[in-house]
Amino acid sequence: MTTTRFAPSPTGYIHVGNLRTALMNYLIARKAGGTFILRIDDTDPERSKEEYVDAIKQDLDWLGLHWDRVERQSARLERYAEAADRLREMGRFYEAFETPTELDLKRKKQLNMGKPPVYDRAALNLSEAEKDKLRAERGDGVWRFKLDQERIEWTDGILGDTSIDAASVSDPVLIRGDGQVLYTLASVVDDTEMGVTHVVRGSDHVTNTATQIQIIAALGGTVPSFAHHSLLTGPQGDSLSKRLGTLSLRDLRAQGVEPMALLSLMARLGSADPVELRSSMDELIEGFDISRFGAAPTKFDAADLFPLTAHHLQSLDYADVADKIADIGVPGDLGERFWLVARDNITTLHDLEGWWTLFRDGAEPVIEDEDAAFIAQAMDMLPEGPHDTDTWGAWTTAVKEATGRKGKALFMPLRKALTGQGHGPDMAQVLPLLQRIRAKE
Ligand code: GLU
């Protein structure tokens, strides 16, 4: 059965880059009727925070990316220890004692000599006595996985046929000196034991994938299908990594971005298919095909989310937003009318408040000097409220007859006097909503 997972580390809020990973894994699982696991990669006790676990769940919930079950790496440490023991028994795991400074020096020397900065495996030559001595001096070493130095190949769901020469990769450290199991091992054990069939993640993980394929094979697991999506860049191709903090899902949510707008964009951005606003998760699932995505960096512009949000809102019925409209204080009997007028004139739901303030309090009239007498006459002719959608037509017809004004010269000064603006929704719809007409007071 198709099983995917989204595996964030709870060390911060998730952002649009994480969302791309989450969404692709989610859509693959749902399209196949499979399982989508939320895996919390919390083997780092110092950096992992419970508040971020909660925040990740809230963000996914907000988007409707519901998981079938949650797994936590911190609850599986004995599984990782067991896998580490097996690697030791196989002779694929060795302890190394170099300090970060020593490793850095080695790397610099290699680079100076024009060689790739790959760990030289010096620790493999240590005798037991030497190891004991180093351990006594420096504490426990790190544990490295001994790669088979061959070409590692896989058919990537996005990158196509991919291969990495293991000789160009350092033997990965899987356990730190303080005993902390690192992501590479934990992830492999989980993917294998949880029956994960498809792994989609960012292209910054391509080298990890190569080493993980060997670790999975060593542990006797089945290698999942891997796909690596390109990383997001800013609109000009600039790096997004520093700005991702401001592109957290909660920031976008606070700015009024609608989930469907965000999901619709992310389900297509960087693919050969155009971005289309979808109205439901089912449509997103239906229209998703990972093989349509390309390897080139994907430009992301948060500004694109706002027209999509506006379009999405235009498609909503009153019932979809009735609660929010009640929250800003619109009386129930005006709610639906208010929504039908406002929805075509907002970018996000935050804009509703401005419209309601205008309707409730009335606008400061804008009246040009040459229109003052005309407006005074027109206001005398405007019946007392409440008004209905016929009021505007009947009133402006009467004003036209009385003053001889027509077209723009008739309508524009009236609009400005009533709303303080030269543009806006259909006045026949606006008039019944206006609770105060200051130009008439
Ligand atoms: N916790 C890892 C990360 O956030 C997961 C990567 C993976 O999907 O394997 O980068």
Scan for tokens 């990383």, then name that residue. 231
Domain with residues 79-175, CATH architecture? Alpha-Beta Complex (3.90)
For ligand 1, say whether the CB of 156 is within 6 Å of any of its atoms.
no
CATH assignment of 244-312, among 3.20.10.10, 3.40.50.300, 2.40.50.140, 1.10.1160.10: 1.10.1160.10
Tell me the pLDDT of the chain averaged across its residues: 96
Q: Is the dihedral of CA 397, 398, 403, 409 positive or negative?
A: negative
- Write down the pLDDT at residue 241: 75
For ligand 1, say whether the CB of 183 is within 6 Å of any of its atoms.
yes
Is 362 in contact with 436 (CB distance < 8 Å)? yes
As separate numbers, helices (DSSP H) first and strands (DSSP E) second, the chain gives 18, 12
CATH of domain 3-68+186-232: 3.40.50.620
> 214 CA distance to ligand 1 centroid (A)?
18
- Total residues found in the chain within this entry: 441
Q: pLDDT digits over 155-184, tens only? A: 999 999 999 999 999 999 999 999 999 999
- Write down the pLDDT at residue 242: 73
Q: Give the rounded percent of residues in the chain with a pLDDT score beyond 90.
A: 96
DSSP state at residue 170 = P
Is 176 in contact with 204 (CB distance < 8 Å)? no
- Write down the pLDDT at residue 239: 82
- Write down the pLDDT at residue 245: 67
Which residue from 6, 9, 215, 216 has its CB within 8 A of the most atoms of ligand 1, so it is best to mutate?
Answer: 9
- H-assigned helices in 32-166: 50-63, 77-89, 100-112, 128-138
- Write down the pLDDT at residue 372: 96
For ligand 1, say whether the CB of 187 is within 6 Å of any of its atoms.
yes
> 252 CA distance to ligand 1 centroid (A)?
22
Which residue from 15, 41, 52, 203 has its CB within 8 A of the most atoms of ligand 1, so it is best to mutate?
Answer: 41
- Write down the pLDDT at residue 441: 87
- Write down the pLDDT at residue 385: 85
Q: pLDDT digits over 273-294, tens only? A: 999 999 999 999 999 999 999 9
Q: Is the pLDDT of residue 244 over 90?
A: no
H or E stretch at 94: strand 93-96
Summarize the confidence of residues 248-276 as an average pLDDT.
97
> 201 CA distance to ligand 1 centroid (A)?
7
pTM across the whole model: 0.93
Summarize the confidence of residues 233-254 as an average pLDDT.
86
For ligand 1, say whether the CB of 201 is within 6 Å of any of its atoms.
yes
At 237, the pLDDT band (50, 70, 90 cuts) reads confident
Is 48 in contact with 18 (CB distance < 8 Å)? no
If you take atom 10 of ligand 1, which residue's CA is the nearest one? 8
Summarize the confidence of residues 91-104 as an average pLDDT.
97
- Write down the pLDDT at residue 246: 73
H or E stretch at 71: strand 69-72
Q: For Cα atoms 190, 263, 281, give the angle at the middle one, nearest 5 degrees.
A: 85
Summarize the confidence of residues 6-24 as an average pLDDT.
96
